[in-house]
Amino acid sequence: MSWRATVLTLFPDMFPGPVGASLLGKALEKNLWSLDVRDIREHGLGKHRTVDDTPSGGGPGMVMRADVACAALDAAANGTPQIYLSPRGKPLTQARVRELSSGPGVTLLCGRFEGLDQRTIEARNLEEVSLGDFVLAGGEIAAMALIEAAVRLIPGVLGAEASPTEESFENGLLEYPQYTRPQSFEGRDIPSVLTGGNHSEIAKWRRAQAEGLTRARRPDLWALYEKPKG
């Protein structure tokens, strides 16, 4: 059975979007993974399929109802991890993406409005995941990002099987700079070590570049990288 992404959203027409293009789209056509998009509003209440209500205690906006959200989750339940895309969630990491990619798939709940009734998260033991310290209008873009990150690690999706192993975050460091032809561009040359043919020296240069970039740009990652293992 192929890796399966199940998405619960109020805007199903947004999918597949970017995850249906390029190599991911070709892999979808080849059934290397599957996408099941479900409209939360199918579980809405009354004539108008209501999915939200005013916040308890007052405040602006609307909150997605627990009874509606849980009904949508229960209808889609398939044994995959259930994730709620939320700015207050734990930051998504490459390590977590790799775990999800190696499993059967994922179920993603895309929030809207002012958020989701807390009882949904507690009652269905949802994992809250964030893309970063910023807020989007809804969880759909975040869901697409998570799906793309996971699907590209599925064997056969990318052309070069070794490519993901040297990317940023895979070894705790940011990726080293990349170059290609022409040899000279606007007065800037490709570093000579990369064209000298000495693979040992190339590996040393790339490691040094990755370490330098990580130390300068992501001191948080550098601190973890330097931390003694064991």
- Torsion, Cα of 180, 198, 169, 100 (10° steps): 90
Residue-level pLDDT at 167: 74
- Tell me whether residue 162 is in a domain: no
Residue 99 sits in a domain whose CATH number is: 3.40.1280.10
Residue 179 sits in a domain whose CATH number is: 1.10.1270.20
pLDDT (average), residues 204-210: 96
Residues 125 and 178 placed together within one structural domain of the fold? no
- Tell me whether residue 183 is in a domain: yes
Angle (nearest 5°) at CA 44 between 79 and 58: 105
230 three-state secondary structure? coil
Q: Which residue segment(s) compose the domain that 173 sits in?
A: 167-226
91 three-state secondary structure? strand
- Tell me whether residue 58 is in a domain: yes
What is the pLDDT of the chain when averaged over all its residues?
95
- Tell me whether residue 192 is in a domain: yes
Residues 118 and 182 placed together within one structural domain of the fold? no
Contact 102, 81 (CB under 8 A): no
136 three-state secondary structure? coil
Residues 66 and 138 placed together within one structural domain of the fold? yes
Residues 82 and 180 placed together within one structural domain of the fold? no
- Torsion, Cα of 119, 122, 124, 130 (10° steps): 100
pLDDT category, 161, cuts 50, 70, 90?
A: low
Residue-level pLDDT at 162: 46
Percent of the chain surpassing pLDDT 70: 96
Q: What is the edge-to-edge ordering of all strands in the sheet holding 82-91?
A: 33-39, 3-9, 105-110, 82-91, 127-130
Residues 30 and 142 placed together within one structural domain of the fold? yes
Q: Does the pLDDT value for residue 230 go beyond 70?
A: no
- Tell me whether residue 158 is in a domain: no
- In total, how many domains does the chain have? 2
Residues 43 and 145 placed together within one structural domain of the fold? yes
Residues 90 and 192 placed together within one structural domain of the fold? no
pLDDT category, 165, cuts 50, 70, 90?
A: low
Tell which of 151, 180, 196 closes a domain. 151
Residues 180 and 208 placed together within one structural domain of the fold? yes
Q: What is the pLDDT of residues 39-55, one digit of tens each?
A: 999 999 999 999 999 99
Separation of alpha carbons 5 and 16, rounded Å: 11
Q: What is the pTM of this model?
A: 0.91
Q: What is the pLDDT of residues 99-113, one digit of tens each?
A: 999 999 999 999 998
Separation of alpha carbons 7 and 38, rounded Å: 6
